[in-house]
Amino acid sequence: MHIHIPGICGTFMGSLALLARELGHRVTGSDSNVYPPMSTLLEAHGIDPGHGFDAAHLDPAPDLVVIGNALSRGNVEVEAVLDRRIPYTSGPRWLFDNLLCHRRVLAVAGTHGKTTTAAMLAWILEREGHAPGFLIGGVPGNFSMSARAGEPGGFFVIEADEYDTAFFDKRSKFVHYGPEVALLNNLEFDHADIFDDLAAIERQFHHLVRTVPGNGRLLVAADEPALDRVLARGCWTPVERFGSAPQAAWQLEASAGGFTAIVAGQHYPVGWTLSGEHNRRNGLAAMAAAAAVGISPQAAARALQAFRPPRRRQELRGRVNGIEVIDDFAHHPTAIALTLEGLRAERPQARLIAVIEPRSNTMKLGAMKARLPGSVASADRVWWYQPPGLGWQVEEVARDCPVPASACADSAALIEALAEETGPGDRIVIMSNGGFDNIHERLLVALRERYPQQTEDGEA
């Protein structure tokens, strides 16, 4: 079957394209925002991500068009599909009908940490010999792809996103997945472009809860009031809690170089190199979800010791003259704060410089603007970048920051300023949910030009 996927470079749709290709379909695609790592991942698997939308991409007509949720009425390919009566569906619906209905699905939901926690869970299952299928919104460090089909009847780990499904289906994606195990990691307001308030998101999370069978399992964070309200709407599935609250079955105890999971009075230490309390919580959640399908805490702890985070999650892109350039996907105030707090705790004496591009749909609307200044308190210096289409001026946030902050609308000028003001031992963390004009590699080039006698590790 020939499947065409408009919006193919989105993390979900790109991963779906890899699955369709693995299942034997011919896959083509198109997108207006083509950038790594998804574009290079698709090309590596023989899928052309296309450049721009064009009705000619539908000549001759494909057997099926799987339409991404980033596409709306008015898009030339959407209009051509409707005008020509070409069969179409949404990504989540295609995924369930062609793959998930034949798998034991473990769904990881929450405002933050979905990608990392799903990657942890998939890796635990992998290390225990289950060879799970998975679809993760990033490229996990322990795997070479963001998605694979797995075997019929086997486990499938999916990052369960609350964003809407398609222009013709405004339900959250995760209501299509039919999980045996659902992990609810946290919940706060986000996606202001489609949700009016937190209550609207809670309603969608309860729709997910309604789909989990009575012989399945819900793993729920113990210290999240919004998730308590979700369960209060009704629950028909056994629930296990994880976190630091007294009623949690899975307790977290932080330790230097990792954490300890405490279950039924037993202690299971995990040693790793990840920074931040949020990653410890993600690890605990993954252990609890793995236990729900029979993986012992000891085995899960061993697997996590070899876990490598997904790309763009505190990913070190390079080091020049002792200056580190780190890439991170954080784009919500809570995620920004947690990331910076983790990096600060990891190396308290290092100068920490945050470079932030507020480019998500929620950020463009300004819904989180008031919370942004406080989110950077753990940094020593902040640069706010003004992307095209932002509905407000980043200077407004820079003025209110508790640490020295500047605003810039020119990526070249920003790179020049960073190269000039940084020195050995500094850590530059660049935060964006987009390509950010390839600023990471361009900054590394600028640093190499500034310090031509230095090697990548900073030694002459």
Give 106-131 pLDDT, tens digit per residue: 999 998 888 899 999 999 999 999 99
Q: What percent of the chain has pLDDT over 70?
A: 96
pLDDT beyond 70 at 370? yes
Q: Which fold has domain 99-304?
A: UDP-N-acetylmuramoyl-L-alanine:D-glutamate ligase (3.40.1190)
Q: Which residue, chain included where needed, has tokens 């910076």?
A: 340
Query: What per-residue confidence (pLDDT) applies to 92?
Result: 96
Binding site: residue ranges?
110-116
Q: Which residue, chain included where needed, has tokens 């000619």?
A: 56
Rounded Cα distance, 429 and 412, in Å: 17
Give pTM, 2 decimals.
0.80
Query: What per-residue confidence (pLDDT) applies to 192?
Result: 67
Q: Which fold has domain 2-89?
A: Rossmann fold (3.40.50)
Query: What per-residue confidence (pLDDT) applies to 286?
Result: 96
pLDDT beyond 70 at 455? no
Quick one: CATH architecture of 315-450? Alpha-Beta Complex (3.90)
Query: What per-residue confidence (pLDDT) applies to 144?
Result: 80
How far, in Å, are 16, 20, 69, 132, 272 from residue 137 at the CA level?
A: 10, 16, 14, 16, 22
Lowest-pLDDT choice from 34-43, 118-127, 423-432: 34-43
Q: Helices 277-291 and 114-127: crossing angle, nearest 10°? A: 50
How far, in Å, are 134, 151, 337, 394, 401 from residue 374 at the CA level?
A: 36, 46, 8, 14, 7
Confidence tier at 460 by pLDDT (50, 70, 90): very low
Confidence tier at 457 by pLDDT (50, 70, 90): low
Kindly list the domain boundaries of the chain, sorted by start residue.
Answer: 2-89, 99-304, 315-450
| pLDDT tens per residue across span 96-108 | 999 999 999 999 9
Question: How many Cα atoms within 13 Å fall on the side-chain side of residue 59?
Answer: 5
Q: Are 252 and 282 in contact (CB under 8 A)?
A: no
Average pLDDT of the residues of the chain: 89
pLDDT beyond 60 at 458? no
| pLDDT tens per residue across span 198-230 | 899 999 999 999 999 999 999 999 989 999 999
pLDDT beyond 60 at 268? yes
Q: Are 13 and 68 in contact (CB under 8 A)?
A: yes
Binding site for ATP: residue ranges?
110-116
Q: What are phi and psi of 77, to 5 degrees?
A: -75, -35
Query: What per-residue confidence (pLDDT) applies to 18?
Result: 92
- Please give the single-letter amino acid code of residue 388: P
How far, in Å, are 121, 165, 275 from residue 193 at the CA level?
A: 30, 14, 31
- Mean predicted confidence (pLDDT) in 253-279: 86
pLDDT beyond 60 at 364? yes
Lowest-pLDDT choice from 175-189, 310-324, 337-351: 310-324
| pLDDT tens per residue across span 236-255 | 999 999 998 888 899 998 88
- Mean predicted confidence (pLDDT) in 66-87: 96
